[in-house]
Structure 1
Amino acid sequence: MARSSKLYHQFIHIRTFVNAKVKWVRDPDLDIAVLKEKDLKEIISLKNHIVSSPSKSLSIYNASMLKSSLNLPTTTIKFVEKHRHVFTQFQPSPGLPPRVKLTPQALSLHNEEMAVHNSETNRQDTARRLARLLMLAGMTRLPIYVIEKLKWDMGLPYDYVTTLLAYYPDYFDVCVVEDPMSGKEVLALELVSWRKELSVSELEKRVMYYGAEKRRLDIQFPMFLPKSFALEKRIKTWVEGWQKLPYISPYENAFHLDSNSDQAEKWTVAILHELLSLLVSKKTERENLICYGECLGLGSRFKKALVHHPGIFYISNKIRTQTVVLREAYRNEFLVKKHPVMGMRYWYIHLMTKG
């Protein structure tokens, strides 16, 4: 018993895996999962601008002014012409400049999408996931610009400030905090009160579902490595020992741990794992994760953890950026469990690639 306690103490305080080179191996299936959403975010963003207009249309000039803010890959005119099953141009009357609106199919999808967002079930699910996002690492506040970065992958409605937040005043409030990045005061979203019932991670829920007799401390992360991938022996040995370390909930404050210890890294991975689990797409741009990590004071730890654990996280280099994918959430290029918001997005992809 004493020997076991001594080994545990060493695991907590000694770093055994410093700056190891873990090679990156391409995963074609997960690259496809990322690639098939190319232009999707931009299409839905432009769609939202159109339907927000009183006339449900935009002049070509006004639509062109959105290129930069929507991060369109080309001019707005070319983008509209490329996706002709989503957008259509028309001239309201002779002599007036042309305008762009949604096709009947796209407008029908938009109405279905809004029905999903406005359903009581989805609204409650979104509020709870957003609350859990604020609770990670024992925090309760997050600058709104960080939430904006994660807004798409969280599946938040485009008008979430006036709909979702206003609908749950007992959950959320807006406050002012000092931005850890710039030191300036910024608006932040605050959790009104800590919700203990929500502070159970997805991995803990699985343990509770499959067998209450299994101790939560024994939780290990699911690992899915490509067939062509093989960890070198010393790294594989380290991972096996690291997996046996106690699991600390991502909703606990564990900043007391030595930041260079293996135990601290397991807690960091737990936060990353839970964060990706909260997203409807189970993936997001690497930049978004690092930005979130910087707000927690874990930016450098996030960077290392993403590289050290290719069996848990996959980094795709497709679509002009780096996207972090939670491996266990996918089988081949398909989501294992499809959120209703993602179900609607796949219908948009079908319309984009039609004909």
Structure 2
Amino acid sequence: MPLFHIPSRSVLKPHHHHRHIIRRTFIDTTTINWVRDRGLDHVVEREKNLRPIINIKNLIKSEPSKSLPISILTKSRHSLQIPTRPVNFVRQFPSIFEEFLPGGIPGGIASVQPHLRLTPQLLDIDSKEHLMYQSHSYTHQAADRLFKMLMLVRCNRLPLNLIELFKWDLGLPEDYVETIVPEFPDYFKVAVGKYGLLELEMVCWSDELATSVMEKKNKAAKGMPVAFPMQFSRGFEMDKKMKKWIDEWQKLPYVSPYENAAHLSSQSDESDKWAVAVLHELLHILVPKKTDRENILALGEYLGIRSRFKRALLHHPGILHVSSKNRTYTVVLREGYKRGAIIENHPLMDIRNEYIHLMNAVKEDGKGVSPREKRKRKKGVEDPIREDIDEDDDENEEEEGYLCDSSDAEVEHDEVDSEDNEEEDEDDDEDEEESMSNIWMNDANTRGRRARKSNFDVMTPSRNAGRGSSGQKRAWKSDNAERGGSGGQYPGRRGERVSPDTSRTTQSDVRHNVRQNTTEGSNLSRSRVRSSPDKKTYI
């Protein structure tokens, strides 16, 4: 028995018949060089842990005591979408959750289990979010988005479990069935489907809302060609065959996504352009202009056009970007972002940005510290030369991370190589530090031995020299007088004053040699880091 029922035709949606064309000009043997988009990947990656944090927050708020044991999170890990061990996950965000031991409970295991509660900063953001959901303007906009999504569907109804997949991206509150649906009885109603599933059904059609974004921008008549805006990632390569096909594809007539395109062949370019129009309008309806690929494929399976959606995601990377960040695939509408930032301002996105900012906040007690700071504290680095080497390594790591590759396998291989190079460079730096310290100690010891030897030879002359004849003594005195009595070649002789120029010159020479060796060692380590083979990029 299938999970979803697909009706043959719609009763509420008007039909527009067009010429039946069977034409497929795309060359399937053409290889599409997929490259990453740094800006759009960052948009997806920065919301990595936002959804599980919001789910935990809502669960804690639903408790009467506004707190709960951490053990409950372990039982509800999959429903809360927690990616790692719940205890370790909540402890990563001390600015979001407070861990405490409840008091006043005599005996029992409950007095030992650690509990969680929300921080005052998070409660302030949550109160803003609650006021936003209660505002009349936001409620009306959320109802319009949900209503337009129902009009995109051929049967004008959707199961509630399918809407649940898009609830986060539609910006609907948790209790939208009890709050939004009853407030708009002329929009939709909840009904029981054929297989006993609860469905949200559209009550009446609205020609005012059944106008796509492309039709509003271009103001073209129906059946006229409309070109989609395209922008490709940096380094994307396109052969002549694909470029020719895209140019011809853009000149095809634009079929509105709100029209029933059942008369179009599934293998035609016209049907492919209509499928792209449906996804383009769907992503425009969503607040963040992106959603999981599995959500789109689930909707396509319900509509019976799953293969068309998959083909549209594969053949049109200039319109729809598929990001592989966060261990999943996310479809991002390129038109909705510019330089890694969303173009359309929305109050819900502002609230979510505040959550993300609080997640990345650093506690004064050191609980939330960046990974680079943790490495410095662990190593206890105080040498400025070592700090310069570490900073240079971090800069090279960031430069390597900005490079784009055409496949995930190459990226993973490069990351492994960079980690190996870092470990080798750290070992080389440690060896160079030890060698530099040995040079310093050897030079110091040599300087000390030379000084002691010279003082010993000059200040304590041999007995035979002291027992010389008076003529010899007079000759020595006259020779010393000619040298000005400053010691000359015999510094440190008894009764004479030692010149400080000799010792100072020796010390300055040794220090100059050590500094030169230190500079050469640091330059050598930096050249080793920077001389790694450059990755292949396409500009």
What's the TM-score once normalised by structure 2's chain length?
0.60
Tell me whether 1:28 sits opposite 2:33 in the alignment: no
- 1:99 to partner: Cα distance: 2.1
Distance of 2:63 and 2:134 partners within structure 1: 20
Q: Which residue of 2 aligns with 1:276?
A: 283
After TM superposition, give the deviation of residue 57 of structure 1 in Å: 1.9
- Equivalent residue number for residue 329 of structure 2: 322
CA distance in 2, matches of 1:290, 1:176: 24
Q: 1:227, 1:320 → 2: CA distance?
A: 23
Per-residue CA distance 1:286-334 (angstroms, 9 max, x = gap): 0100001111111010000100000000111110100010011111211
Task: Give distance in 2, aligned partners of 1:53 and 1:249.
Answer: 47
User: Structure 1: which 5+ runs fail to align?
Assistant: 1-7, 179-183, 209-213
The amino acid across from 1:320 in the alignment is R
Instruction: Find the counterpart in structure 2 of residue 42 from structure 1.
Output: 52
Aligned equivalent of 2:25: 16
Structure 2 distance, partners of 1:77, 1:194, is 49
Contact 2:37 2:234 in 1 (8 A): no
Residue number in structure 1 paired with 2:138: 122
Partner of 2:338: 331
The farther-off stretch of 246-255 and 224-233 is 224-233
Query: What are the equivalent positions in structure 2 for 1:1-355 lying under 5 Å apart?
Result: 12-19=21-28, 20-95=30-105, 96=111, 97-178=113-194, 184-208=195-219, 214-215=220-221, 217-355=224-362
Post-superposition shift, 1:115? 1.2
Q: Which amino acid aligns with 1:124?
A: H
- The residue type equivalent to 1:146 in the other structure is L
| Alpha-carbon distance between aligned partners in 2 of 1:243 and 1:185, rounded to the nearest angstrom | 43
Q: Distance in 2 between matches of 1:233 and 1:185?
A: 52
Give the aligned residue type for 1:99: H
Deviation, 1:9, is 7.0
Rounded to whole Å, the distance in 2 between the matches of 1:31 and 1:332 is: 11
Contact 1:30–1:316, Cα closer than 8 Å, also in 2: yes
Aligned partners of 2:318 and 2:192: how far apart in 1? 39
Q: Which has the larger radius of gyration?
A: 2
Q: For residues 226-279 of structure 1, give each alpha carbon's deviation from its aligned partner in whole angstroms, at most 9, with x where no partner exists.
A: 231132111111111111111111011011111100001110000010111111
Q: Which structure ranks higher in relative contact order (CA pairs < 8 Å, sequence separation ≥ 6)? A: 1
Structure 1: how far apart are the matches of 2:142 and 2:201? 15
8 Å Cα contact 1:137-1:253 kept in structure 2: no
- For residue 55 of structure 1, report the CA deviation from its aligned partner: 2.2
Q: Confirm or deny: 8 A CA contact 2:44 2:323 kept in the other structure.
A: yes
Q: Deviations over 1:96-133 (max 9, x none)?
A: 24321110000110110111122111111110000111
**Contact kept in structure 1, 2:272 and 2:308, CA below 8 Å:** yes
8 Å contact from structure 2 (residues 297, 306) kept in 1:
yes
Indicate the structure with greater strand content: 1
User: Residue 238 of structure 2 aligns to which amino acid in structure 1?
Assistant: L
If the length of structure 1 is used for normalisation, what is the TM-score? 0.91
Residue pair 2:170, 2:286 contacting (<8 A) in 1 also: yes
- Which sits farther off after the overlay, 18-27 or 254-263? 18-27
Q: After the TM superposition, which of the residue ranges 16-25 and 81-90 deviates more from structure 2?
A: 16-25
Amino acid paired to 2:79 = S
Whether the aligned pair in 2 keeps the contact of 1:273 and 1:326 (CA below 8 Å) is yes
Alignment identity in percent? 46
Q: Distance in 2 between matches of 1:21 and 1:162?
A: 49
Q: Distance in 2 between matches of 1:227 and 1:26?
A: 8
Cα distance in 2 for residues equivalent to 1:344 and 1:150: 18
Counterparts in 2 of 1:17 and 1:161: CA distance versus 1, 3 Å? same
Q: Is contact 1:250–1:271 with CA below 8 Å preserved after alignment? A: yes
The whole-number CA distance in structure 2 between the counterparts of 1:250 and 1:137 is 9
Aligned to 1:211: none
> How far did 1:51 drift?
1.2
Change (3 A) 1:138 1:195: farther
Q: Which runs of 5+ in 2 are unaligned?
A: 1-17, 106-110, 363-539
**Change in 2 beyond 3 A, CA 1:205/1:254:** same
- Give the partner amino acid of 1:14: R
C-alpha distance in structure 1 between counterparts of 2:316 and 2:342, whole Å: 20
Question: Which runs of 4 or more aligned residues in structure 1 lie more than 3 Å from their structure 2 counterparts after TM superposition?
Answer: none
